[in-house]
Amino acid sequence: MKLVCSFTNMKQYRSSILFYLFFIALAVIGIIYGEQLINTYPGLRLWPWSNIALIAIGIPFLFFQQPARLPELWDKKIPLSERILQPVLIGIVFGLADLLLIEFVLQDQPHASLPPYTQPFPYSIFLYSSGAFEIEVFYRLIPVTLVLLMFAKIKEGKYWLPAFWIIAILSSIREPVEQLSGGPLWFIIYAVISGFAMNFIQVWYYKKAGFSASLFVRLGHYLVWHILNGILIEQAIN
C-alpha cells in the first residue's frame, strides 16, 4: 500500500523528477548538437536516440528511494555541500590524478589529434554529462535500489546494512574490471585502486546524500579528465 501511495504523491518527488528530466533533456540537446557537427568532426562520438529510452528506464526507481532506506534523488533537507560541493571536489581530485599520471607521466609524445577519451569542446560538455548520468543510472540507481529495497523488506531490514556494504563493493569493482587498462604494472594497479576507490566513495555518498551526490562525484571527474583535458589537447594541437 505504501508503494502504491508513493506513486500518487507526485508533489513529493517533483524536485527529483525535474533533476532526472534535466539530464534527459541535456542528452537530447547533445544528440541534436552532435548531428550538426558530424560533418566537421567525422570521428565525433554520437549518442544514439535509443539511449534516451535506456536512461528513461531509471525513472520508476525515483519512487523507491525512501522504501529502500535511501535519501531522495534530490533531497532538499540535505545541505548542498553534501549533495554537490563535496562530491564535485572529490571527483576533481580523482580527475587531476588521472590527468597528471596519464598525460604527463605516461604520455611522452604530444597528441596529434584528440584521443578517444576526449571530444571537441563545448560538445564534450553534453556528451560526458550524459555519459556520466547513464553510467550512474545503471551502475548505481537501478542495482543499488533493487538490492536495498529487497533487504529493507526482509526481517524488517535486519540485513539491510550488510547488504549495503556488499552491493557497495560489487558496484565499485565493476567499472575498474570492465575498463581494465594496459600499460606498466604500476599503472594497472593504480587504475584498479583509484577506480574502485572513486566508485566506493560514490556509493557511500549515495547512501549519505542521495543518487545526485554519487552523480556529482563522476561529473567532477569527467569535468577534469574528459572536458578540461580535451580543451588542453585541442589548444596544444592548434
What would the pLDDT profile of 152-175 be if each residue is shown by its tens digit? 999 888 899 999 999 999 999 999
Please give the grid coordinates belonging to residue 109: 609524445
Please count the CA atoms within 13 angstroms of the CA of 19 that sit on its side-chain side.
21
Distances (CA, A) of 122 to 73, 88, 127, 191, 224: 27, 19, 9, 27, 14
Average pLDDT, the chain: 91
Tell the residue number behind the cell numbers 596529434, with chain if given: 112
- What digits encode the pLDDT tens for the residues 210-230? 999 999 999 999 999 999 999
CB 172 within 8 A of CB 199: yes
Amino acid at 85: L
Kindly report the number of other CB atoms within 10 A of residue 26's CB atom.
16
For the ranges 7-16, 72-81, 115-124, the lowest mean pLDDT is seen at: 7-16
Percent of the chain with pLDDT over 90: 75
**What's the rounded Cα separation, in Å, for the pair 33 and 27?**
10
CB 97 within 8 A of CB 225: no
Give the global pTM. 0.91
Q: Given CA atoms 140, 146, 152, 154 in this order, what sign does their dihedral have?
A: negative
CB 217 within 8 A of CB 198: yes
Would you say residue 12 has pLDDT above 90?
no
Angle formed by the axes of helices 123-136 and 211-222, nearest 10°: 140
Looking at residue 5, its pLDDT comes to 45
**What's the rounded Cα separation, in Å, for the pair 118 and 132?**
14
Looking at residue 11, its pLDDT comes to 66
Angle formed by the axes of helices 160-178 and 142-153, nearest 10°: 160
**What's the rounded Cα separation, in Å, for the pair 49 and 32?**
10
Would you say residue 14 has pLDDT above 50?
yes
Would you say residue 1 has pLDDT above 80?
no
